[in-house]
Structure 1
Amino acid sequence: MTEADLPAVMEIERVTFPLDAWSEGMMRGELDEIPRTRHYVVALVDDEIVAYAGLAAAADQADVQTIAVLEKHQRNGIGSAMLTELLAEARRRGAREIFLEVRADNPRAQSVYRRFGFEEIGTRRRYYDDGTDAIMMRKRLDD
């Protein structure tokens, strides 16, 4: 992902996460950390950005920052491909485990993460702007 991708990425962000979308400033801050501690990718279909994902990594830990796929492109493997790339990058950077938060009211995403070997490790109460809890998940990368 580059700054040139931001208009499309921000539109996906607002549509996918209407209640707690990141601001453009927040996203620019993430891009400023590439490649030092961040890794962000986009997915294209017919030359259109339809998804993006981001990873934060430091020392032996990594965090999935975000994964978003336009609704009309969901359920066709793009999200899984994005997560696969983030896991591979975490391993390349020497991470031994990777963490994420997922909305408690998003069972579909939780199911995808479980399928990839993530396990629930706790709950962050009222984590999201609308008061929804976040389920914290972890995957050991040395498995």
Structure 2
Amino acid sequence: MMDDLDRIMAVMESAFDPQWGEAWTRRQVETSLVLPTTHYRLIAADGKAPAEGQNAAGFAMTRAAPGEEELLLIAVLPSQRGKGLGGKLLDILSQDARSRGASKIFLEMRENNPAQSLYHKYEFNQIGRRKDYYTTSDGSRMDALTFVKTL
């Protein structure tokens, strides 16, 4: 039977382009998930939580700190993009964060990430830039953009 870590990794391996080096290893995800401040959600293709044994169409993982959360990872299978699942995950994460006492959600991403339009649509605003933060697979450097959403 597929457990949640398997479902997260199946989405991650399909959704993240190796060119950008953004995918986490199974060990990194596993290590994060054992921490009490790390939270995750899975979503099925129908927009609900996947049933036991059902594959996930997407996932999101956050880390909580007093009064805030950080979106660590969010991904939707390429075959399921454009169906509103990423937005649904962001809505669920916002509700979850609020229920844990957060008033803000932060995220950081590479400057050319196409998800930027999704984040703007869901009221994330850019508040910072880290020059040359990411190194791509060809060795070039790329800025990181920091966003925040007030809950």
TM-score by length of 1: 0.86
For 1:96, the equivalent position in structure 2 comes to: 103
- What is the rounded CA distance, in whole Å, between the counterparts of 2:134 and 2:147 in structure 1? 16
- What is the rounded CA distance, in whole Å, between the counterparts of 1:132 and 1:6 in structure 2? 29
Q: Which moved more, 1:3-12 or 1:96-105?
A: 3-12
2:149 aligns with one of 131, 139, 142? 139
For 1:39, the equivalent position in structure 2 comes to: 39
Query: Which letter maps to 2:147?
Result: M
Which string of whole-angstrom CA distances, capped at 9 and with x for unpartnered residues, describes residues 33-61 of structure 1? 2xx21210111237321111011111111
- What is the rounded CA distance, in whole Å, between the counterparts of 2:4 and 2:135 in structure 1? 25
- What is the rounded CA distance, in whole Å, between the counterparts of 2:43 and 2:31 in structure 1? 20
Query: Which letter maps to 1:16?
Result: A
For 1:120, the equivalent position in structure 2 comes to: 126
Residue 70 of structure 2 is aligned to residue 63 of structure 1: yes
Query: Which letter maps to 2:25?
Result: S
Is the 8 Å Cα contact of residues 45 and 85 (structure 2) preserved in structure 1?
no
Q: How much is the aligned-residue C-alpha RMSD, in angstroms?
A: 1.7
Where structure 2 has 5 or more consecutive residues not aligned to the other structure, the ranges are 47-53
Question: Following TM superposition, by how much is the alpha carbon of 1:31 offset from its aligned partner in structure 2, in angstroms?
Answer: 1.1
SS of aligned partner of 1:45: coil
Q: Percent identity?
A: 35
Query: Which letter maps to 2:63?
Result: A
Is the 8 Å Cα contact of residues 39 and 89 (structure 1) preserved in structure 2?
no
For 1:53, the equivalent position in structure 2 comes to: 60
For 1:72, the equivalent position in structure 2 comes to: 79
TM-score by length of 2: 0.82
For 1:28, the equivalent position in structure 2 comes to: 30
Question: Following TM superposition, by how much is the alpha carbon of 1:112 offset from its aligned partner in structure 2, in angstroms?
Answer: 1.1
Q: How many residues align?
A: 136
- What is the rounded CA distance, in whole Å, between the counterparts of 2:81 and 2:56 in structure 1? 13
